[in-house]
A and B are shown apart, each in its own frame.
Chain A
């Protein structure tokens, strides 16, 4: 990471583990994950369902469900460890320094309040604005996220807006207090493809204007190619690969990442009906109870070695900016 290491990271997640208590057993949902987010960049966290992407986001926000807890590790926002923050301190961080948007813009907006009230609320909570000032600012925010007739829309309820509009409102709420980091948890999964592109454009535009760092959680490699500066690939509660998006897409180092990319159809090469079947990764993600000490991908991997089942590999540096947790790369610098 020589290119990025010259800057100080804005947010650094260090050996973060999250555990859940269930049936008197402990399930490790996140296992010593490590990554950093630099100012103004877009970091994509990729992986399939249940690999811990959303849990990572919730852990950073300190909003993991009640039966779970941060087992070890740190979440450093600049120099402050959020993992050790109290409830009150954390409330000052949420929405103000780190904000988040969700997958379902319908269910993430409160149906009984107007969108204006919902944008203004965050401003009043964090910046102590009065009602009138907050309303002015809310109209500005709606305009800046590209909602036409903002003066009128501000008094509408969420159900009067389309899905894309609602996600724009969510983004307006999240960005109202100019946070340093915006976590977007699959923000376009519930939207039409054309609207997806608009939302990505909007996120990029806001990022350019405000310098917000974006952590984009997705399972969509198309979104990764379009948005990411850097990529973190997660599997089974672990980070298995990290690097710049060009490197990951062109020279994926981990068999799982290779599998993910192989799953993409190539329309340039096979534009007509005689497309070959898409390859798939055999098997399913092991449940949290089935994860042993070794690599969680060992059961589905074509290159499994004895060592894979005994010990989870360290991150080997396969290129300047790319690190892979796989024994195939053993011998390369850690």
Chain B
């Protein structure tokens, strides 16, 4: 072959992000001490909330000791609240509701957000316009206020609280998903997929979404943290389900007695704090693990 006379010079592009990302990301994640601490904490919290009630088999609403026993007393290891209910039992049982609401709300928030963002980013044009205006409508609403309105409109229960928080907090996921889809739909492999005859649905869900999943996972973990805080906030404000023990409910009930029985307010607060911290550490660790720019810096 004669040497090629190029009428156009094509600079060779830097290789795209290497794949096999998941395994590589996991390796980076496990090397990150903060992330591992978060993971261990979350596993411990989950273990306590899942298996704790089986071991204790007590009613968290039952009166177990004299009112406002301080921590370390005979019938209430972490003290009792203003009615004499055991704070430890409350925390162990209440974790179930709090974590369930956090998780369900986060899943819902990601589902709504990713669907809206994916369609907006992929189709662009008027679809994008309409969906983004709707997103902005939800975005300018104060999230807690919107969740409060939704909960008061329907009777407060775990389901309505989860839905309310999910509906109030999907906008950031939608924006993130939209940005990822805008970026990835230009990729040549998307064009290559159309060339072999794939339809839009397939390209959105099976071609682009798997490539956009990393930042969405990170965002989802962070949403779990905020959802737990919102659940606590709603219960604190008396908008939770009064028949189901949750961390926010204990705090809300004991709020007037914070000066005399500080433990009944503080200890569930510590539980919330530790859970949100654990989830945030994991989210941060995932963020670093999936971010190729930070990966080289070891």
Residues of A within 8 A of B (CB): 47-49, 61, 63, 66, 91-96, 99-100, 102-104, 106-113, 121-122, 125-126, 157-160, 170, 173-174, 186, 189-190, 193, 196-197, 219-223, 225-226, 260, 263-265, 267, 278
Contact check, B10 vs A189: say whether CB atoms are below 8 A apart.
yes
Contacts of A113 in B (CB 8 A): 210
Segment 7-36 of B: residues with Cβ below 8 Å from A: 7-8, 10, 12-13, 15-21
Give the interface SS of chain B, mostly helix, strand, loop or mixed.
loop
**A122/B194 in contact, CB under 8 A:** no
Q: Quick one: given A66-B125, A107-B187, A109-B192, are A158 and B10 in contact (CB under 8 Å)?
A: no
Smallest Cβ-Cβ distance to B8: which chain A residue = A49
A126 to B191, CA, bound (A): 17
- Is the Cβ of A111 less than 8 Å from the Cβ of B17? yes
Instruction: Let me know if B74 is at the binding interface, CB within 8 A.
Output: no
Cα distance A94–B198 in the bound complex, in angstroms: 8
Q: Inside 8 A of A48's CB, which chain B residues have their CB?
A: 7-8
Q: A106-B15, A107-B16, A158-B19 are in contact. Are A63 and B7 (CB under 8 A)?
A: no
Contact-size category for B = 35 or more
The answer to whether B7 and A260 touch across the interface, beta carbons within 8 angstroms, is yes
What is the bound-complex CA distance between A109 and B125, given in angstroms? 27
- The answer to whether A66 touches B192, judged by C-beta atoms less than 8 angstroms apart, is no
Q: Can you list 25 residue pairs at the A/B interface with Cβ under 8 Å? A: A48-B8, A94-B195, A94-B196, A95-B196, A95-B197, A96-B197, A99-B196, A100-B192, A108-B188, A108-B189, A109-B189, A110-B207, A111-B17, A112-B211, A113-B210, A125-B197, A126-B196, A174-B196, A197-B1, A223-B1, A223-B4, A260-B5, A260-B7, A263-B7, A265-B2
Which of A93, A125, A267, A278 makes the CB contact (< 8 A) with B198?
A: A125
Check A112/B197 contact, CB under 8 A, given A66-B124, A158-B19, A222-B3. no
Q: Which chain A residues lie closer than 8 Å to B15 at the CB level?
A: 106, 159
User: How long is the Cα–Cα vector from A225 to B5 in the complex, in angstroms?
Assistant: 12
Besides A91-B197, A223-B4, 5 other A-B contacts (C-beta < 8 A): A49-B7, A110-B211, A189-B10, A220-B4, A260-B7
Given contacts A91-B199, A126-B197, whether A107 and B5 have CB atoms under 8 Å apart is no
Closest Cβ of chain B to A161, distance in Å, is 11
Would you give the shortest CB distance from A202 to chain B, in whole angstroms? Answer: 15
Cβ contact of B192, chosen from A108, A197, A220, cutoff 8 A: A108
Residue of A nearest to B198 (CB): A125
Which one of A99, A159, A222 lies within 8 Å of B195 (CB-CB)?
A99
* Chain A residue with the shortest CB-CB distance to B12: A190
Once bound together, how far apart are the Cα atoms of A196 and B4, in whole Å? 11
Please indicate which of the listed interface residues B6, B13, B197 has the most CB atoms of chain A within 10 Å of its own CB.
Answer: B197
Known A-B contacts A61-B195, A104-B13; A193 and B211 likewise in contact (beta carbons under 8 Å): no
Q: Which 5 A/B pairs are nearest by Cβ-Cβ distance?
A: A95-B196, A111-B19, A48-B7, A49-B8, A94-B197
On chain B, the residues within 8 Å of A264 by CB distance are 2-3, 5
